[in-house]
């Protein structure tokens, strides 16, 4: 039976010393800014490669950086929040995004560009892990409403990056530099409310102790990590390489960016409905089966007829991508105690993003070795099975708190 009892400490943590409007604005703005720095690169990868003289291998490193940087920063996020607090940790992450995204377009050094890109992505990685725990700490409904806003914001930002990349590059000073650098300026809007929250928020260490080995042994946590990792791998392969797949099939950079934006934009719908679906459903198994089948079908379409009905393949992959907001929402939905939420987030996301980082790097290497996309797409088709199998394990409402307690 699910316990609804909360300790006084938990209740006090859910009474933030700032208004609801500021909370909503802060969550919405940070969520919008946790993806464009990564997703805007794909449609302009060819121009960035030419401008910085990147080899195909280094271009593969660029596309892999989001997963690896998110994993590294996410692994450090819980420990950082214990020392300086959730709000301050998030604020530092946003500040890193602002500074690094602007600075990286001012350099002609490929090495410095990679370093600054990694710094910006690390700032986003802190937000990835800490924001769900912050939401759980400051929510009275278990985080359903704020996680809906957060999931939608992630997909809005993810869609905005590739959608605006080519059009802005066509009119901005510096072309691709202006198109990428504008996201650092946009991130300033997210920094302001989080600075205000940090000044008002006395809560420290709300995430609790470092990631427990008991969390690592939770079957639900492991399955959720696999689900998150496989879907994130798909997402970042798509962000980094799908525009190039379409360009190699004969489409323009603008068309490729628009198609990628459709794919990520569909996630807005997923981000809107999936937290509520999870909250109201006893069994998500049909959804998990559908996610896997849609992924396999989308990659098959890219393999056999990429330019024939290109919009159909992005729609199939975009609907499969509902697995991403599902995995994000399950971090809060499968926990009760905000401290367990933080520990689960600090376990699932770093490990999951490490898997996500390997995918784009391997895709780049395989593409360079084979000179085509056939082997890549065949391998990606098999990811649908991983989504379904892992998803079936987390499809029913099992509490990670109870699995952790059983090992104590």
Tell whether 6 is covered by a domain.
no
Tell whether 4 is covered by a domain.
no
Task: Confirm if 123 and 93 have CB atoms less than 8 A apart.
Answer: yes
CA distance 142 to 148: 11
CA distance 225 to 222: 5
Q: Residue with structure tokens 């605006």?
A: 164
Tell whether 216 is covered by a domain.
yes
Q: Cα-Cα-Cα-Cα dihedral of 181, 186, 191, 193, to 10°? A: 180
Tell whether 148 is covered by a domain.
yes
- Contacts for 16-22: CB closer than 8 Å, 24+ residues apart: 16/138, 16/201, 17/200, 17/201, 17/202, 18/196, 18/197, 18/200, 18/201, 22/193, 22/196, 22/197
Contacts of 3 (CB under 8 A, 6+ apart): 336
What is the CATH classification number for the domain harbouring 193?
A: 1.20.1250.20
CA distance 406 to 386: 27
Choose among 196, 121, 198, 184: nearest CA to 356: 121
Tell whether 329 is covered by a domain.
yes
The pair of structure tokens assigned to 192 is 């302001």
Q: According to the model, what pLDDT value does residue 88 have?
A: 93
CA distance 233 to 330: 18
Tell whether 8 is covered by a domain.
no
Tell whether 12 is covered by a domain.
no
Q: According to the model, what pLDDT value does residue 113 have?
A: 93
Tell whether 198 is covered by a domain.
yes
pLDDT tens track, the chain, 408 positions: 333 344 433 444 454 566 889 999 999 999 999 989 888 887 888 899 889 988 777 777 787 787 788 888 888 887 888 888 899 999 999 999 999 999 999 999 988 999 999 999 999 999 988 998 898 888 776 677 898 899 888 878 877 887 788 899 999 888 999 999 999 999 999 999 999 999 987 655 444 444 455 788 899 999 999 999 999 899 878 877 898 899 999 998 788 878 877 887 787 888 888 988 998 888 999 999 999 999 999 999 999 999 999 999 999 999 999 998 899 889 988 988 878 888 888 889 888 888 777 887 788 889 989 999 999 999 999 999 999 999 999 998 888 988 888 876
Contacts of 384 (CB under 8 A, 6+ apart): 291, 292, 293, 294, 295, 296, 299, 320
CA distance 175 to 349: 34
Question: How many domains, the chain?
Answer: 1
Enclosing domain of residue 139? 17-406
């Amino acid at each position: 039976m699910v316990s609804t009892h909360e300790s006084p400490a938990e209740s006090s943590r859910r009474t933030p010393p700032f208004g609801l409007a500021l909370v909503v604005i802060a969550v919405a703005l940070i969520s919008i800014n946790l993806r464009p720095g990564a997703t805007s690169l794909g449609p302009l990868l060819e121009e960035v490669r030419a401008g910085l003289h990147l080899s195909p291998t280094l271009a593969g490193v660029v596309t892999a950086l989001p997963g690896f940087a998110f994993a590294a920063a996410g692994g450090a996020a819980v420990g950082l929040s214990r020392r300086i607090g959730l709000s301050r940790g998030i604020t530092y992450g946003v500040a890193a995004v602002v500074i690094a995204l602007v600075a990286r377009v001012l350099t002609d050094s490929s090495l410095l560009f990679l370093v600054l890109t990694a710094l910006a992505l690390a700032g986003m990685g802190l937000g990835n892990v800490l924001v769900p725990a912050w939401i759980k700490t400051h929510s009275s409904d278990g985080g359903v409403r704020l996680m809906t806003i957060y999931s939608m914001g992630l997909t809005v930002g993810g869609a905005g990056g590739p959608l605006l990349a080519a059009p802005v590059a066509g009119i901005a000073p510096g072309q691709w530099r202006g198109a990428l650098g504008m996201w650092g300026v946009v991130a300033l809007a997210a920094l302001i409310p989080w600075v205000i929250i940090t000044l008002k928020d006395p809560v420290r260490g709300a995430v609790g102790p470092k990631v427990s080995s008991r969390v690592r042994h939770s079957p639900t946590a492991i399955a959720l990590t696999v689900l998150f990792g496989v879907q994130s791998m798909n997402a970042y392969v798509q962000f980094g390489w799908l525009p190039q797949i379409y360009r190699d099939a004969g489409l323009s950079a603008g068309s490729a960016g628009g198609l990628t934006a459709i794919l990520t934009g569909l996630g807005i719908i997923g981000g809107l409905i999936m937290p509520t679906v999870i909250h109201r459903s006893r069994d998500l198994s049909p959804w998990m089966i559908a996610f896997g089948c849609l992924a396999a079908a989308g990659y098959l379409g890219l393999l056999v007829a990429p330019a024939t009905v290109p919009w159909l393949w992005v729609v199939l992959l975009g609907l499969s991508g509902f697995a991403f907001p599902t995995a994000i929402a399950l971090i809060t939905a499968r926990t009760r105690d905000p401290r367990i939420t933080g520990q689960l987030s600090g376990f699932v996301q770093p490990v999951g993003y490490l898997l996500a980082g390997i995918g784009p790097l391997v895709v780049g290497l395989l593409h360079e070795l084979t000179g085509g996309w056939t082997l890549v797409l065949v391998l990606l088709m098999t990811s649908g099975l991983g989504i379904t199998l892992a998803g079936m394990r987390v499809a029913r409402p099992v509490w990670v708190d109870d699995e952790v307690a059983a090992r104590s």
